[in-house]
Structure 1
Amino acid sequence: MLVHGGGHGAWAFERLTPLLVQEGHYVVARDLPGHGLRARVPRSYTTRPLHAQEFAHEPSPIAHLRLADYRDQVIATVRRLAERMPDREIVLLGHSMAGLILNEVGEAVPELIGRLVYLSAWMTGDGTAFTDYMSEPEFATGLIPSILLADPAVAGALRMDFRSNDPGYRAGVKAAFAADVEDDEWDAIANLLSPDTPAGPLAERVTVTADRWGRIPRTYICCTNDQALPLPAQHRFVKEADHHTPGNPTDVRELPTSHSPFASAPDQLAEALLQL
């Protein structure tokens, strides 16, 4: 089961899925609440040229979402898969923000998960939140803060303009998420991305205990050229997890890619997963 990150949808795995299916795997990907076909965007995002002041202050229509909304949807799908295919092991992959969801799901139903795979994801430590890390030195070179166009406390979301006509801003967004994706391909992807990722789930503290989440085999796939989640930050997540569960260390793999290997290097990503 593939869980996308903020601003994305199940479409993000379109290139990866057939590479896994042709090797005999069943693959499921769904839009998270408020994302993909379930996305809701601020009215000001649909007006061009963009009215910057309005866009910076309009409340997000998905600001009400919480981490439990994501967790419960994924758990419901995992349960159905486990019931219908009891002889198959479920591997749960999460990209970026979805690392928070993997933490929650692994803690809730460890008996149903064969492996957790964090793809350049926020594998936050026990008792911490996404927002706790943003001011830490390992995150200092991350480009996401530089491309936010609203105060999350005002909009209720991390807000970006993926359809911006400003060449400098567009270049900054691409550098953050997809520096190694071809320009024409990125233009297509940018039209599918939604501008808001709700801030609520990012401020919620997760609980991951050693005897539940910590007993599941886990892999962390580091994207070594990631400018959204810097490599030192990825290493910190692994270090904290291993300290928390010394008897179950993280299996670490590397891809020489940006934050979006499912777009820039799907074959390499598929090979890394198939090796598991």
Structure 2
Amino acid sequence: MTDYVLVHGAWHGSWCWKRVRDRLQSAEHRVFTPSLTGLGERSHLLGREVGLDTHVEDLANLLVWEELRDIVLVGHSYGGIVIRQVADRLPDRMRALVYLDAFVPEDGHCLNDYLPDQGQRFRDQAAASGDGWKVPPPPAAYFAVNAADAAWVDGLCTMQPLSSFAAPVRLSGACDGVANIGYVLATGFPGSPFPQFHAAAAERGWWWADLPCGHDIMVDMPAELTALLLERG
């Protein structure tokens, strides 16, 4: 039995992992799918003080209080930034790291640094529709979510704190010492910012894989993703 910890991306929550979680549990593994503070069923906790540091503490505390070790830690999109910092803080608890169509920032950089517009679109959206400090979710169609699930995803996504996109990461480099690290790229996401991290993964000697779907891989191709996690974890 393996412990899998699956971390969602911006605007999402634990709900997006349902299909993968069910499959992993059916294979007799333990699965944890925390919703980060202010997101998903914890959206009532969203406030100006919530940001990347809060989300890193959410995940680190889960590992400590659930006494989790030898885990497969998976981060989707913005969740890649969260898992990278937690793995840097607690590398001895990691069996494997999987970046799922995710940001993989270097020390001192933030999510906005890896976007063509340096996050200006998010700042504009926050100013227009989020009281200046929270970003409304893009429509599922933007992420190329399959048509059958688009309304479901749209109905469950929630506001994201703007500050979480501008906060720089602080890394010692211990996260890159984990023995098993991989990157999974969604090839059906037009205008994706993630190929840059996929290419860097190959250069680092990490394993890598492509899946022909939109950005929300866990929604679009849960069976294929589960098989990959079971094979590589």
- TM class, shorter-length: 0.7 to 0.9
Name 1:55's counterpart in structure 2: none
Change (3 A) 1:126 1:238: farther
Change (3 A) 1:241 1:264: closer
Q: In structure 1, what is the equivalent of residue 189 of structure 2? A: 226
Structure that is richer in strand per residue: 2
Amino acid aligned to 2:19: R
Q: Does 1:273 align with 2:233?
A: no
The structural deviation recorded for 1:24 is 2.2
- 2:167 corresponding residue in structure 1: 204
Residue 127 of structure 2 corresponds to residue 151 of structure 1: yes
Q: Is the 8 A contact 1:117 1:218 kept in 2?
A: yes
CA distance in 1 between partners of 2:144 and 2:196 (Å): 22
- Partners of 1:198 and 1:125 in 2: CA distance: 21
Offset, 1:272: 1.3
Please say if 1:107 is aligned against 2:88.
yes
Task: Within 5 Å, give how 1:73-88 maps onto structure 2.
Answer: 73-82=58-67
Cα distance, 1:206–1:238 mapped onto 2, change above 3 Å: farther
Which has the greater radius of gyration? 1
Select the residue among 28, 33, 41 that pairs with 1:37: 41
1:154-200 deviations in Å (ceiling 9; x for gaps): 6212224x7xxxxxxxxxx2331234241xx3212211111x21111
Question: Is residue 2:39 matched to residue 1:5?
Answer: no
CA contact (8 A) 1:64 1:200 kept: no
Contact 2:201 / 2:207 at 8 angstroms: preserved in 1?
no
The question of whether the paired residues in 1 share the 8 Å contact of 2:75 and 2:82 is answered with yes
Pairing 1:97–2:82 present: no
Equivalent in the alignment of 2:110: 129
1:193 aligned to 144, 152, 157, which one?
157
Q: In the alignment, does 2:143 pair up with 1:177?
A: yes
Rounded to whole Å, the distance in 2 between the matches of 1:117 and 1:102 is 9
Consecutive unaligned residues in structure 2, runs of 5 or more: none
Whether the aligned pair in 1 keeps the contact of 2:107 and 2:170 (CA below 8 Å) is yes
How far apart are residue 241 of structure 1 and its match?
Answer: 5.7
AA matched with 2:146: D
Q: CA deviation at 1:242?
A: 6.4
Structure 1 unaligned runs (5+)?
42-60, 163-172
1:155 alignment partner, SS class: coil
C-alpha distance in 2 between matches for 1:179 and 1:78: 30
Q: State the aligned residue count.
A: 225
Structure 1 segments of 4+ aligned residues over 6 angstroms from their partners: none
Instruction: Return the letter of the residue paired with 1:180.
Output: N
Counterparts in 2 of 1:264 and 1:5: CA distance versus 1, 3 Å: same
**1:268–1:107 CA distance, 2 compared to 1 (3 A):** same
| Residues in 1 aligned to 2:97 and 2:188: alpha-carbon distance in whole angstroms | 22
Aligned counterpart, 1:255: 211
CA deviations over 1:225-249 (Å, ceiling 9, x no partner)? 1237x1xx32322444666xx5xx2
Aligned letter for 2:40? Answer: G
Asked if the contact 2:126/2:162 (under 8 Å) is kept, the reply is: no
Residues 178, 241 of structure 1: CA spacing in aligned structure 2 closer, same or farther, 3 A cutoff? closer
Percentage identity across paired residues of the two chains: 24
SS at match of 2:176: helix
**1:48 aligned partner:** none
Q: Report the TM-score, using the length of structure 2 for normalisation.
A: 0.85
- Cα distance between partner residues in 1 of 2:58 and 2:224: 29
